[in-house]
Amino acid sequence: MILEAASSGNILDLLESIRVFEIKIIDKQDFFNLLFRFGINITIALAIIRGVYFPTRRDKEYFFTFIIFNALTFFVCYLLSSVKLEIGFAFGIFALFSLLRYRTNPLPVKEMTYLFAVIIVAVINALSTKKVSYFELFFTNFTILGLLYYLERVWLNFKGAIQVITYEKIENIKPQNKHLLIQDLEERTGLKIIDVEINRINFLNDTARITVNYDPTKNNIIGESALKADQQKAEDL
């Protein structure tokens, strides 16, 4: 068999005919299936993270985390799916991630949602069987992508990056002075302010805690601003 493969001049056929401890060096059909499914998976994941999430939050650390989580989940599910655990295995993966805790600050709600979304995409693309047609697989992937895009960028409206600040000009927090508040914040921060939200007012020291939505650019993103903003809001409740 090896001689036949070698004489045919096909390197893949030659490698497929070689076994090490009864395991093939390569299985062409399974390998190309892996490449095809991973291509679908990483394309959808990049579209979600780079196309929907990143323009809004612009957090490179979460971008890195989401992509690596997606890839690792896909490979774990795909390579172990041959054990025929199927549905039970999929739920086991979810249980594993539900117990996972980083030794850092907890993820904001929106970041946790995106993390769950990229994990779901990886599991779907890795564990779908031959009973699921490619049309159904593409439809599911693009439906998830479309829902995230519509909710993030259309229905709930894009409000840019966020940052929580403590503001001392208490007279500017009045509703009729909102334009003065935005103008003052733009002059002092150099940011293009899209909207502001008053979270807490302290009349004892004449300060207010404000969430600022600003237009994110490459040079004005404040590190981990989304995380800090969610934590500050939680403290205000």
| 23-74 confidence digits (pLDDT tens) | 666 777 778 888 999 999 999 999 999 888 887 777 777 888 899 989 998 9
- Quote the domain boundaries for residue 193: 161-236
Structurally, the chain folds into a number of domains equal to 2
Instruction: Return the amino acid letter for 119.
Output: I
pLDDT digits (tens, 9 = 90+) for 146-168: 999 888 877 766 666 778 888 99
Say if residue 218 is in the same domain as residue 112.
Answer: no
Dist CA 9 CA 57 (whole Å): 52
pTM for this predicted structure: 0.63
Alpha carbons 97 and 229: distance in angstroms, whole number: 25
Q: 103, 133, 155: which is the final residue of a domain?
A: 155
**Same domain, yes or no: 100 and 165:** no
Same domain, 107 and 69: yes
Q: Which of 121, 155, 189 is the last residue of a domain?
A: 155
